[in-house]
Structure 1
Amino acid sequence: MINKDTKNNSWSAETPNDPIKICIATTPEEKREIYHFRYKIYVEEMSRHLDEVDYDNKLLYDEQDEWALLLYAKVGSELIATKRINIGTISDFPQKIIELLSLETFQGYSSVNDDNKFAFITKVMVTPAHRSSPVLYLLMVKCYEICCHNHVQFIFGISNFHLIPLYEQMGCRRYYKNFFYPGHGLAVPIVLLTDDIQHFRKVRSPIFRIARRRRSLNMKTIEWFNAVFSNQASIINSQLITEDELWNLLCKRLNGLPTESMAVLQDLSEPEAKKFLHSCGIFVQCDPDDMLTFQGDISYTYSILLSGRLKSLTFQRPLKEYLTPGQHFGANGLTEHNKHTEEIAATSSAEILALSGIAFQKFCRSHPDIAHKIVRNTTREARKKPGTR
């Protein structure tokens, strides 16, 4: 059960042990604890290389922290999660962010109000022990309410491929081209429309119950977004496509059954393969020159080429010489968290099926027998091909 403490401006959720409390950092001590928590997650756990790291003091912060709301979650005295939200007009954001998120396009959604406020959520992280808890939902609810209070229509964020299902299940949409984000690799911009009630219902978003209580909905914003970003018709939302629809789509791209071309599906029945691909797969479109893997980065997906051409920038050879649709490239981030050993880029428009390691952890709990076969297949494939491409 979720409760709100209006006096202390915090939220809590009852758990079997201690309640999770969501608060906004106001003191220098709270903020420093968040900066150190970020360092532990991004630098020590994920080995990410970021320009804004203070290695001497083990802190991670940047200029956006100066005007951001810093949310954090605690169980007792332990900080377990944090999220940053910047709310402002387009002039408040760095030009690079304006370009990557295409904020100028959104600025044009209303010719009446030139002071449209946008929200940008970043630095979202949860300690490993609580990644299956309701803490991310609590943070999202708090952010959503803050944005509604500030009359924000569009809440922006960025997502790596392996987290796309998580954010799409929250109600976010993909809408624009991929981009390189320092320290994160290839990422995709996402946006949540605060009045997108019907979409929240369709994807079974956990914030639907909160959003539907709103009285003044601006449906013109939804209509404007759907008209301007009509490319959404070609974006495969992981929460809206069915098992059979995804399977049929993959069959068309591969000119055959996925079980015949994907080594990871060996010995799986068709129903098992369908369930696994639908639970863990993300259909991603890439542009020429998109960097798909970065040497030394930890992989969180198992990537399979569906169409297009790739090349290795590390070994200076076109991957098309040996990589055909249905084959895996990059390090195994599905059943393990290996590091990429080469940098791979798209040389043409390409389609990728990214199998999420985060989603696979949940899949293991609900379908252990199928998951065991997947682990066996990835282990077998690694033995056949020494080293990770």
Structure 2
Amino acid sequence: MLNNDRQVVSCSTESPESSIKICIATTPEEKREIYRFRYQTYIEEMSKRPEEVDYDSKLLYDEMDEWAVLLYAKVNSEIIATKRINIGTIADFPQKVLEFLSLETFQNYYSEHGERKFAYITKVMIAPAHRSSPILYLLIAKCYEICCNKNVQLIFGACNFHLIHLYEHLGCRRYCKNFHHSGYGLLAPIILLIEDIQYLRKVRSPLYRIARKRAALNTQAVEWFEKMFTNNSPGINSQIVEEEELWFILCKHLNCQPTKAISLLHGLSEAAAKKFLHSCGILVQCYPEDLITVQGDVSYSYNILLSGRLKSLTFQRPIKEYITPGQHFGANGLTEHNKHTEDIAAISPAEILVLSGICFQKFHHSHPDIAHKIVQNSISLTRKGYLE
């Protein structure tokens, strides 16, 4: 359980500098350092424009920080990552959070089983040099431990599309429509069910090593969630879909093999393309008025339209002259981090393939030959003016 003393969890994971420590901030000085780290990450690095910014002091915080558990990771005295957890009943959260996460859907569960608390994880940030390290797992493992101690069954959150693959590997699921958060872009709501041990095992979540040690399980929330959402997921889970199945889905959408329709894949063998798409690709369902790219935001993915219609809100031009299924849109965030030059929104239900730059970094280490060809193709497309 939490107490008023500053808490430090020493982790065995070693960084090049020294061991990583996961801490819970309790002093004003610690919290201020977290707010400053957030500003450096979101404002200075990512060019985000959230509303709750103190530009004079270069701090990023809001009213939910007042009652949150603030986690941070450090190497020596340097903060290299942070995450915020708010734990409470539905009545404790602002109305906009209830709307973003579609929490009214969960009212029936809370009515049937008592006014239980849930957790909402936000403000997850990791320094660029440590994004390939185990820090995200260490932070979410600590969140899992805290929530277990607080008898929380449901952990909610939201992420940009290029992070969906990563969070689904940890055991999170998508469960409702995307929402646009001012300053943060289009986000996918996600949920982690504390007691869903079998699901964590199925997706090979690293949290399974912790979860399987739990003695007494209450699976009411899991059973209720399965009944309500299993057949209504807004996307195909990247950890469950098989390589061949994903290829078949893409062929069906594009009416040909992806290697023919997607310029980035030209020159790759079918086997290499399948491996790349399965390792880095996420299928995302978008809805009318979803603002998919925002002018000036840094891109961390490579987006390809599979079906539906998109519209540029920045440049006036016929959609047929702009993009068709199989074509890329937005800035290249797969092999480099460019800024979007257009606001692009869905004007009909649309499905897009998101190739994550975060996943590509890992893929580059494990399959350098395939990754090198992808990089060459992106350079060639940029020179021809097809990529931003």
Please say if 1:377 is aligned against 2:377: yes
CA contact (8 A) 1:265 1:377 kept: yes
Q: Which residue of 2 aligns with 1:295?
A: 295
Output the amino acid matched with 2:40: K
Output the amino acid matched with 1:42: Y
The aligned runs of 1:32-71 (5 Å cut-off) are: 32-71=32-71
Aligned mates of 2:136, 2:284 — CA distance in 1: 24
**Unmatched tracts of structure 2, length 5 or more:** none
The aligned runs of 1:61-210 (5 Å cut-off) are: 61-210=61-210
- The residue matched to 1:342 in structure 2 has which SS? coil
Q: Which residue of 2 aligns with 1:28?
A: 28
Q: Which residue of 1 aligns with 2:253?
A: 253
Aligned mates of 2:330, 2:384 — CA distance in 1: 15
CA deviation after TM superposition for structure 1 residue 234, in Å: 6.0
- Per the normalisation by structure 1, the TM-score is 0.95
Instruction: Give deviations 1:275-320, integer Å, cap 9, x for gaps.
Output: 1101110000011111111111111110001000111111122323
- Per the normalisation by structure 2, the TM-score is 0.95
Aligned mates of 2:106, 2:387 — CA distance in 1: 45
**Unmatched tracts of structure 1, length 5 or more:** 1-5
Output the amino acid matched with 2:14: T
Cα separation, partners in 2 of 1:208 and 1:312, compared to 1, 3 Å? same
CA contact (8 A) 1:11 1:138 kept: no
Aligned mates of 2:254, 2:208 — CA distance in 1: 37
Output the amino acid matched with 1:215: A
Q: Which residue of 2 aligns with 1:314?
A: 314
CA contact (8 A) 2:301 2:334 kept: yes
Aligned mates of 1:197, 1:382 — CA distance in 2: 45
Aligned mates of 1:208, 1:369 — CA distance in 2: 32
Aligned mates of 1:110, 1:344 — CA distance in 2: 38
Q: Which residue of 2 aligns with 1:218?
A: 218
Aligned mates of 2:184, 2:359 — CA distance in 1: 19
CA deviation after TM superposition for structure 1 residue 112, in Å: 4.2
Aligned mates of 1:236, 1:386 — CA distance in 2: 28
Q: Which residue of 2 aligns with 1:334?
A: 334
CA deviation after TM superposition for structure 1 residue 376, in Å: 1.1
Aligned mates of 1:113, 1:9 — CA distance in 2: 34
CA contact (8 A) 2:291 2:345 kept: yes
Output the amino acid matched with 1:61: Y
CA deviation after TM superposition for structure 1 residue 321, in Å: 2.9
Aligned mates of 1:107, 1:8 — CA distance in 2: 34
CA deviation after TM superposition for structure 1 residue 113, in Å: 4.1
CA deviation after TM superposition for structure 1 residue 194, in Å: 0.3
Output the amino acid matched with 1:359: C
Aligned mates of 1:102, 1:382 — CA distance in 2: 40
Please say if 1:270 is aligned against 2:264: no
CA contact (8 A) 1:107 1:114 kept: no
Aligned mates of 1:219, 1:51 — CA distance in 2: 39
Output the amino acid matched with 1:200: L
- The residue matched to 2:64 in structure 1 has which SS? helix
CA contact (8 A) 1:302 1:330 kept: yes
Instruction: Give deviations 1:37-67, integer Å, cap 9, x for gaps.
Output: 1111111111111111111111110000001
**Further displaced range: 44-53 or 268-277:** 44-53
- The residue matched to 2:111 in structure 1 has which SS? coil
- The residue matched to 1:279 in structure 2 has which SS? helix
Count of residue pairs brought into register by the alignment: 383
CA contact (8 A) 1:301 1:332 kept: yes
Q: Which residue of 2 aligns with 1:12?
A: 11
**Further displaced range: 374-383 or 14-23:** 14-23
CA deviation after TM superposition for structure 1 residue 7, in Å: 9.5
CA contact (8 A) 1:179 1:290 kept: yes
Aligned mates of 1:143, 1:162 — CA distance in 2: 22
- The residue matched to 1:339 in structure 2 has which SS? coil
Cα separation, partners in 2 of 1:7 and 1:212, compared to 1, 3 Å? farther
Aligned mates of 2:24, 2:216 — CA distance in 1: 26
Output the amino acid matched with 2:9: S
Aligned mates of 1:152, 1:380 — CA distance in 2: 50
CA contact (8 A) 1:175 1:231 kept: no
Aligned mates of 2:84, 2:187 — CA distance in 1: 18
CA contact (8 A) 2:178 2:186 kept: yes
CA contact (8 A) 2:8 2:21 kept: no
Q: Which residue of 1 aligns with 2:367?
A: 367
Aligned mates of 1:7, 1:78 — CA distance in 2: 17
- The residue matched to 1:109 in structure 2 has which SS? helix
CA deviation after TM superposition for structure 1 residue 10, in Å: 2.1
Cα separation, partners in 2 of 1:7 and 1:339, compared to 1, 3 Å? closer
Cα separation, partners in 2 of 1:322 and 1:35, compared to 1, 3 Å? closer
Aligned mates of 2:286, 2:193 — CA distance in 1: 24
Output the amino acid matched with 2:86: N
CA contact (8 A) 2:177 2:234 kept: no
- The residue matched to 1:355 in structure 2 has which SS? strand
Instruction: Give deviations 1:175-232, integer Å, cap 9, x for gaps.
Output: 0001101211111100000001111001110110101111121222111101111444
CA contact (8 A) 1:174 1:232 kept: no
- The residue matched to 2:342 in structure 1 has which SS? coil
Cα separation, partners in 2 of 1:109 and 1:129, compared to 1, 3 Å? same
- The residue matched to 1:83 in structure 2 has which SS? strand
CA contact (8 A) 1:310 1:320 kept: no
